[in-house]
């Protein structure tokens, strides 16, 4: 209970000085011998291969948008394509140390993150598990298309499956990963830990926190990453999400066996631009984005700036930060330095930046530099790397050909209720997971003893019953939630003054005595984050009640 946390005036009025921790800036130092021992030649080369996949995939999209053709295949793509050409090493380095149990949430510029995470998952999953996923996801619609390519191995088939499912989704085809309804900016593939991207700048900043909350409350493995841009630091959902992820109560009031703070990592893909505005030096005041962590909690969110142009530096950062998150000591903030050669979108003429700046970054192209690293340290020869690039292009030619074919990849049926079919299951589920709900009292010893004695109707033989003896709307809501809390172990309720106070209208009165802190708790007065985290919690498989005092507060 919060009354156990005494606010002592003698302590808070005492003269002192607040000191902050130092923030590492590009601390990783490459050691080729140690890296060879740690990763092994095959994995070091695979990192290069994955970066090439990302670069060629988006180069293909860029050509189709600008020229209407890729390697002789003509197509008029009228949808969006926000590219991250130049940022490949940041995505691949991050994905290297992620498992399928780890979730990533993205932005409008996340094609590369989808592919990187999926390629990493393919490497880690068994052939049997990959086969099961491909056969059962959307009844095998994407699998039936790519099986025609007759790849040599199951993992090769899974790569085709990923490339095709993603591209078909971008092109709005019914065989895409989300039946073409997610498109370029909202695509996702949960079996590989790729959760929905979000076209709203900073939109993943609170949704991802809800997913991390689900993992912590339900003791599920894995960490959660919100991949958002540096310009999103000016967005409310990001700030509210950070406040929610950093609440003291995870470590001061929640049961120790829950594990501490949600395993939440805010990763800012810092390419130094929003659309055209430049956060560094123009639209923001932090100078170094990682500095923001110092204002969130005493640990400074374990903030760090990482060289995103070195995939091994990013992989190292994820490996180190994972330990912090798994120990319940999060949240974590990473300021991952990168750069997009491409414009905000294919129609962007880059009038807001000088060509000299773009050329400076192209001279340090992460793919070219990493290729040279492999050659210098004899992990591969030029012929091997060149043939790898040829293979990537050949595979993409097949995938593009299939994705533009109306016979293999029909367009979404816009006359059907496709959205409704995907959003509403029209099913009832008593519990979202197996297990015994964690409670503090038998249900029979709760406030139900009082409410169950009340009349369910307002009249008796046509005469009004005393109001104190009839069930109120608030009490009816209480009974419904009480029942479900004792049936569904995933169910949580949080928001404005739920615990102790009992909610602004006493709906939760009596639940404080029945439920442990992690199932019923107060949140910051952040209506956006209350709703956003609830979305993330539900997306991850849980049942949640989000409490706002008034719905009007959503408008502020």
The per-residue pLDDT for range 510-556, each reduced to its tens digit, is 999 999 999 999 999 999 999 999 999 999 999 999 999 988 887 76
pLDDT in tens, 540-553: 999 999 999 988 88
What value does the mean pLDDT of the chain take?
Answer: 95
540 lies in a domain? yes
What's the CA angle centered on 222, arms 106 and 177, to 5 degrees? 45
Residues 272 and 344 in one domain: yes
Domain extent for 133 = 45-78+111-196+373-409
Please check whether residues 190 and 333 belong to one and the same domain: no
Residue 129 lies in a domain: yes
Instruction: Tell me what pLDDT residue 353 has.
Output: 86
Taking 90 as the threshold, does the pLDDT of residue 6 lie above it? Answer: no
Percent of the chain with pLDDT over 90: 85
Domain count, the chain: 3
Instruction: Classify residue 21: in a domain, yes or no.
Output: no
Taking only the tens place, the pLDDT of each residue in 422-442 is 777 788 899 999 999 999 999
Task: Give pLDDT tens digits for 387-408.
Answer: 999 999 999 999 999 999 999 9
Q: What is the pLDDT of residue 529?
A: 96
Residue 430 lies in a domain: no
pLDDT value, residue 36: 97
Same domain, 208 and 249: yes
Average pLDDT over residues 374-387: 97
Cβ-contact 173, 191 below 8 angstroms: no
Q: Do 210 and 98 sit in the same domain of this protein?
A: yes
Question: At 1, is the pLDDT very low, low, confident or very high (cuts 50, 70, 90)?
Answer: low
Residue 452 lies in a domain: yes
Looking at 318, 353, 388, the residue that finishes a domain is: 353
Same domain, 293 and 331: yes
Backbone angles phi, psi at 59, to 5 degrees: -65, -40
Q: Full-prediction pTM beyond 0.85?
A: yes
Interval 37-46 mean pLDDT: 98
Taking only the tens place, the pLDDT of each residue in 276-287 is 888 898 999 999
Residues 95, 206: one domain? yes
Q: Is there a contact between 226 and 105 (Cβ–Cβ < 8 Å)?
A: yes
Token pair for 256: 């120790």
* CA gap 547, 203 in Å, rounded: 20
Which one has a higher pLDDT value, 354 or 38? 38
Same domain, 457 and 505: yes
175 shares a domain with 209: no
Reduced to 3 states (helix: H, G, I; strand: E, B; else coil), residue 111 is helix
Q: What is the pLDDT of residues 178-233, one digit of tens each?
A: 999 899 999 999 999 999 999 999 999 999 999 999 999 999 999 999 999 999 99
Cα gap 553→556, rounded to integer Å: 6
């Amino acid at each position: 209970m919060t009354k156990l946390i005494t606010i002592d005036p003698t302590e808070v009025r005492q003269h002192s000085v607040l000191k902050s921790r130092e923030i590492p800036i590009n601390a990783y130092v490459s050691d080729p011998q140690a890296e060879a021992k740690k990763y092994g030649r095959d994995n070091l080369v695979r990192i290069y291969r994955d970066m090439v996949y990302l670069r060629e995939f988006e180069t293909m999209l860029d050509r189709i948008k600008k020229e209407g053709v890729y390697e002789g295949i003509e197509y008029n793509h009228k949808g969006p394509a926000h590219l991250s050409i130049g940022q490949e090493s940041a995505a691949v380095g991050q994905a290297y140390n992620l498992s399928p149990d780890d979730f990533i949430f993205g932005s409008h510029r996340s094609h590369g993150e989808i592919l990187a995470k999926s390629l990493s998952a393919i490497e880690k999953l068994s052939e049997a598990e990959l086969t099961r996923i491909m056969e059962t996801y959307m009844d095998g619609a994407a699998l039936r298309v790519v099986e025609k390519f007759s790849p040599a191995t199951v993992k090769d088939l899974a790569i085709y499956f990923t490339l095709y499912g993603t591209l078909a989704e971008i092109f709005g085809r019914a065989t895409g990963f989300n039946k073409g309804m997610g498109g370029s900016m909202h695509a996702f593939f949960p079996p590989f830990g790729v959760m929905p991207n979000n076209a709203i700048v900073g939109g993943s900043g609170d949704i991802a926190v809800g997913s991390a909350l689900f993992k912590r409350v339900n003791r599920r493995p894995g960490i959660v990453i919100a991949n958002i841009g540096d310009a999103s630091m000016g967005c409310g959902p990001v700030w509210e999400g950070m406040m929610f992820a950093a609440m003291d109560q995870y470590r001061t009031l929640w049961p120790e066996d829950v594990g501490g703070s949600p395993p939440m990592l805010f990763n800012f893909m810092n390419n130094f631009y929003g659309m055209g505005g430049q956060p560094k030096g123009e639209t923001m005041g932090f100078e170094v984005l990682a500095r923001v962590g110092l204002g969130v909690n005493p640990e400074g969110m374990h903030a760090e700036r990482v060289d995103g142009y070195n995939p091994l530096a990013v992989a190292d950062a994820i490996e180190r930060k994972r330990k912090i998150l798994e120990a319940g000591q999060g949240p974590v903030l990473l300021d991952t330095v990168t750069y997009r050669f491409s414009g905000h979108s294919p129609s962007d003429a880059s009038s807001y930046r000088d060509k000299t700046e773009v050329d400076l970054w192209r001279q340090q192209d992460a793919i070219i530099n990493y290729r040279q690293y492999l050659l210098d340290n004899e992990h591969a020869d030029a012929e091997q790397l060149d043939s790898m690039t040829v293979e990537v292009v050949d595979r993409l030619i097949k995938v593009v050909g299939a994705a533009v074919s109306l016979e293999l990849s029909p367009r979404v049926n816009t006359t059907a209720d496709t959205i409704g079919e995907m959003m509403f299951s029209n099913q009832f589920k008593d519990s979202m997971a197996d297990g015994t709900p964690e409670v503090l009292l038998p249900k029979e010893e709760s406030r139900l003893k009082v409410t169950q004695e009340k009349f369910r109707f307002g009249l008796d033989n046509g005469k009004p019953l005393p109001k104190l003896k009839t069930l109120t709307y608030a009490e009816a809501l209480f009974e419904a939630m009480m029942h479900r809390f004792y049936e569904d172990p995933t169910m949580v309720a949080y928001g404005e003054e739920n615990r102790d106070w009992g909610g602004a209208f006493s709906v939760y009165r009596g639940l404080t005595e029945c439920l442990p802190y992690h199932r019923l708790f107060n949140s910051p007065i952040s209506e956006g984050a209350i709703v956003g985290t609830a979305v993330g919690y539900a997306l991850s498989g849980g049942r949640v009640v989000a409490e706002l005092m008034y719905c009007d507060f959503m408008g502020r």
